[in-house]
A and B are shown apart, each in its own frame.
Chain A
Amino acid sequence: CTQKTSYRSFYFFAKDIVQLKSLWSLQFGNYLQSFKSNSFQILSHFTMQTVTLIPGDGIGPEISTAVMKIFEAAKAPIQWEERNVTAIQGPGGKWMIPPDAKESMDKNKMGLKGPLKTPIAAGHPSMNLLLRKTFDLYANVRPCMSIEGYKTPYTDVDLVTIRENTEGEYSGIEHIIVDGVVQSIKLITETASKRIAEYAFEYARNNQRTSVTAVHKANIMRMSDGLFLRKCREVAENYKDVKFREMYLDTVCLNMVQDPTQFDVLVMPNLYGDILSDLCAGLIGGLGVTPSGNIGANGVAIFESVHGTAPDIAGLDMANPTALLLSAVMMLRHMGLHAYADKIQIACFDTIKDKKVLTGDLGGKSKCSEFTGEICRRVQDME
């Protein structure tokens, strides 16, 4: 049990241990305790840490407010620096994020982001893509674990998708060759493939995961996915303690919907990662309850909710803040603030398990503010 006690803060333990309800939640916390960034120090619980907060569009502002309220109730040592990210055209016509947002992220290193809207065929690149390019957010990590109390046809899901986030099919390079013929370029590079593979194996090792599966379609895309696969194989040689498998994308899909328990850590290029991570989110209950983290170079990490902006319910106090909250919890663990992370997570899961105060998407009739209030209440009761 020493591993669990090591990340509990002293004064949290000083209170009633019985309050720590399910052992399962601790294990969730244990494995969600994430990516050790080399440049990041484990902070004292008494120093305020500034985090860049990007509320986003649609329901973004209201769920960000919910998260801030809950963090306040938990007395987490986080202060928020709100920034907006709307695409602006810099000198030379190049699209970029506002300089004050970039400055804030570079200074704080940690970010929490709500949903941003991505219009189809609008002329400027997707905002999410722009953020990724700006901070070189090369790894998108999504732990998918079944939530007790939120029933789906799939139980015992416990896997992590690690998706290469900078290249692949999302290079954004497209051309009209002749009228009626479009070419989209998928880019796979040695450096990016090696980097994501290394991250995946490091993650597996640091989080006591047993296997890493590379997902590819190298039978069809012989050179590009072939290169990705080769790099994964090479990196696997240095991590003999972690089992390495390779599987075709279609086989993974086929088996995932029949028996997701056979998968552990999955690493893959951009598009497959996009599809698979959403598929896995669907297994545990949807994007409304799935956390996500983006790891960048230079110690930057942005945690985000991955659902849409839900414009139809924006401003109506109907949104579910769980996804953003769990992503914020992922951030706390990344910062070493495990005690606060556990507290908030347990409060959230217990609220869902209890089924009394649930937002519409979780099957209840409560408002976002009521759901938030209930979690705050539980957090405060844990004091």
Chain B
Amino acid sequence: MIKSRHTVTLIPGDGIGPELLSHVREVFRYSCVPVDFEVVHVNSALASQDDMDNAITAIRRNGVALKGNIETKHTLPPSVKSRNNILRTSLDLYANVMHCQSLSGVQTRHKNIDIMIIRENTEGEYSNLEHESVSGVVESLKIITRNNSLRIAEYAFKLAREKGRRRVTAVHKANIMKLGDGLFLQCCKEVASGYPDITFDSMIVDNTTMQLVSKPQQFDVMVMPNLYGNVVSNVCAGLVGGPGLVPGANYGRDYAVFETATRNTGKSIAGRNIANPTAMLLASCMMLDHLKLNDYASLIRNGVLTTMNETRVVAHSRYWGLGTTSDVVQSVMKNIQSKGQLTAEL
């Protein structure tokens, strides 16, 4: 049965999340995208997990979600875990995918970057297993499993093949964490043997960051455990122009959640109409592709990229650009309209 309309869970989150997502809805409405949003609020100030449970149930029902980042309040006791993390692990969104590409309209120190980062999203250092064994001594457990390592490696190679990429690099610290990262590396090697058309190599994480800031063009597809993924994705996002530009996706077997790649709450810029909507808009396009609404995805994506690269309406950035969020959104919608498609009243 071909679906006429899709329902997607929307979690506004904190900071700049709500405003960016309302712009996404504006652009969707304007472009007559057949998507309805079921909005679920999560209150990060509460210790109870009820609202998270509601959100997770909603995503299970709809299968797809678009979200802003939920703040983790340090004033709450350590037993209250990061809600973003709970979401990822409950829905088993094991692959975090980020595509970092240099945009011609953005001024950066490095050019011609085109890196796909696939990050294991459920275990590693984010296992939430901590205890104070003796007073003043805290142990935090990093878990690496064969199953999850094989799974993420398989995902990375499959995606690389699908997208016609030539090389997959595993990022690790197996010289120090011989058993943990050693296992991860071994799993990657095993999966690599099943993809002889794709070159596989590995690199230690500290060398990786050093290479990224000097010669980022050497990287193609990168696969890594959770924490290194956090570091590498933020470095790459910074290299192509900042957190406001790059979309991210979290895929599981049954569910998919889309958000900005670097997951910033952006508290200091919230409510000031200066957040860059590009990342969230591109994330919503990734979502449309996932829903097989590819025409709408291309339409909006082209509108956004034209704004970035041609009409050059740039949002406010600490480092460049002085436009407002609304300026960018208006420009995107104008570019969409100029394609001649049926649009709603502005």
Contacts and interface: CB of A to CB of B under 8 A. Distances in A.
A43 interface: no
A184 B140 CA distance: 8
A113 B131 CA distance: 37
29 contacts: A120-B175, A120-B182, A126-B176, A129-B176, A154-B109, A172-B176, A176-B179, A180-B147, A182-B143, A183-B180, A184-B142, A184-B179, A185-B142, A220-B72, A220-B85, A222-B80, A223-B131, A249-B230, A250-B234, A251-B234, A253-B234, A253-B235, A254-B242, A257-B239, A258-B242, A258-B319, A277-B206, A282-B211, A286-B210
A181 B207 contact: no
A185 B129 CA distance: 10
B231 A249 contact: yes
Interface in B221-267: 227-228, 230-231, 233-235, 237-239, 242-243, 262-264
Nearest to B232: A253
Contact of A259 (B137, B180, B230, B319): B319
Contacts of B228: 275
Given A182-B143, A224-B139, 11 more contacts: A180-B147, A182-B179, A183-B142, A184-B179, A185-B139, A186-B142, A191-B136, A217-B230, A219-B72, A253-B238, A286-B214
Contacts of B179: 174-176, 182, 184
A220 B74 contact: no
Contacts of A219: 72, 74, 82
Instruction: Name the residue in A176, A184, A186, A217 with the highest tally of chain B Cβ atoms < 10 Å from its Cβ.
Output: A184
A92 B236 CA distance: 47
Contact of B125 (A152, A220, A222): A220
Contact of A224 (B140, B145, B214): B140
Contacts of B209: 253, 275-276, 278-279, 282
A121 interface: yes
Interface string B314-332: 0000110000000000000
Interface string B106-139: 0001100000000000000110101110001111
B293 interface: no
B contact residues, range = 35 or more
A118 interface: yes
Interface string B198-215: 000000011101111110
Interface string A251-264: 10111111100000
B305 interface: no
A220 B123 CA distance: 12
A279 B206 CA distance: 7
B174 interface: yes
Nearest to A258: B238
Contact of A220 (B82, B109, B141, B175): B82
A218 B74 contact: yes
Interface string A204-227: 000000000000011111111011
B78 interface: yes
Contacts of B230: 217, 249-250
B242 A220 contact: no
Contacts of B87: none
B299 interface: no
A180 B140 contact: no
A218 B81 CA distance: 10
A154 B108 CA distance: 11
